[in-house]
Structure 1
Amino acid sequence: MAGDVADGDVYPVGPGPGILNLSYIGENVIAQIENVIGVIEGEEEPNRYVILGNHRDAWSFGAVDPNSGTAVLLEIAQRLDKLQRRGWKPRRTIILCNWDAEEYALIGSTEWVEENREMLASRAVAYLNVDCAVSGPGFRASSTPQLDELIKQAAREVQDPDNTTQTIYDSWVGSSNSGVIGRLGDLTSDYAAFVQHVGVPAADMRFGGGYPVYHSMYDDFTWMEKFGDPTFQRHVAMASVLGLVALRLADEELLPFNYVSYASELMNSAEDLEKEKLDHSIDVSPLIKSIQDLYTAAQGINIEKEGVKGALKVRAQ
């Protein structure tokens, strides 16, 4: 490299090349892990489950990962307790899960899903995950497509903790993310087993993106207080959005799923596949026709749901 040296401190990284020999001495042990599960039984559909989860094990202090998520889950539990004291009971059962051993290949949640596979496949409504709940400003969400609209609706009902003149949704669509909801196709948190082993609808939400102290000893309360969430209002807002999504899934007579979003996502993937097939003699038209049929059916279901909702409102008056 050549050129002028910038003003300020200089930290040489050469001259190199260098060789560093490391010896790791560790002890392999078999340890017991413990998941903590809390249940609020549903009154009308007790065998249908809305599941919320967060892991509690951390590489070090874990103020962001996972303790911001733990704080959010505990806040939601406290709010649900207050509702119960006022006489509220959910229509469907709500299960609150605190997972162990997430950092060891998602063991806590994965073992629980595998142990309860048949029950979850037939009875689980959705799984809502919260992990690194707060690492900075800016709302972000990932989900399976049928939950997209529900997340957006909840974000419209909560004030942005960093701009009191707007809702979270307003700030979200005006950001670089532009209201885009990601997909849960990876293995980075506890939603993986629910989505990939059993096919349960799922979502994961957070404030902030990547942060410089991830998985280090500097991910502590001091960093959170100075940089991640100085007023801790992002934590409060995160609990509000996630809690609203959970309540609608647990209480609405008609599940608030929107499969038009799901069909649109499938169509985008099919169109990408058609572009990538290049010179291969692959006919994707039957696939596209099936997705179009799904889209039409989903639109019909939405129209029918609105009609039923209107009738229910009239009946309740």
Structure 2
Amino acid sequence: MHVLITGGAGFIGSHLVDLHLARGDKVHVVDDLSTGSRSNLAHHEGNGNLRFDEADILTWQYLDRAVAWADRIYNLAAVVGVYRVIAEPTKVLAVNIAACERLLRAAREGGWQPQVVLASSSEVYGHNDEDILHEEQDLVVSSRAGTRWGYSVSKIADEALGLSYAQRFGIPAVVARFFNTVGPRQIGRYGMVVPRFVAQAVRNEPITVFGGGLQTRSFCDVRDTVVALDAVATSTGRDTVVCNVGNDREISILELAQLVIERAGSRSTIEHVALREAYGEDFEDIRRRRPSLARLRTLTHFQHRYSLERTIDDLIAIERTRMQEGNDGHRTLVRTQSERAA
């Protein structure tokens, strides 16, 4: 199979590269490296089945050619992370929506109908009062989210574009709503909570919990996420589907901080930081975010392999190795014990 991955040098994208190359697929990665890193793909150097282009898909002149080559396209190119979303609200809308539309237009004009997998987000559910979020629920855009609302708007727009191109032009679309993906190669620089907690715990620094800490999230290991994503795309075939992708185990941010301290054997204390101090603006954080996985399991019979504890242990090991090597970089090529055993 020919697989095109936009944003393929990033956190989730590079794990998709691992998965498809391990199967012998031919993979073409396009990434502008604004948040991704070539080091995430360095362990595939010399693999003739991998091609990499450093490019912005908003302006890349060879996008039509790459799309026409592909059997499946994963669109992961986006501005992500709370810090970046708040700092660059206009870029979020321009990049996330326009890049997706250009990709879909290339698929329509190419005369070939590749399957397009669009990375959406649990953010599209907004401030929803339901305890469990399922795909049939109304999507919510709320001003209570502050300037963060732009990210959810961009993902809702991407979903609408994908479903419209599927209905009007017959391009099969998989809309995957990710729920807090975590794991190796993720960095805390842009607001991702788990790598930030792990780095603080390993260094015995205070763990900073933004807000009250009672807000809950459901974390899924990236190595499970990419397997589930591929399984949905494979099972769907030429059909179009919207599907939650994640883990339905729920944990509060305060409990997460305590769990990381415990797993690391850390002397860290927990400090609460107001949202305004953390992000530079006030907003009402989403109270709960737990997915219904009924559709995912019906489509694929998928079973998770990685518990949150196992993921945290792997991240702690990576962080300790980075400290021992004196590497201040934000990426690591260390293979965890879990990856070697997989």
Q: TM-score, normalised by structure 1?
A: 0.30
The structure with the largest alpha-carbon Rg is 1
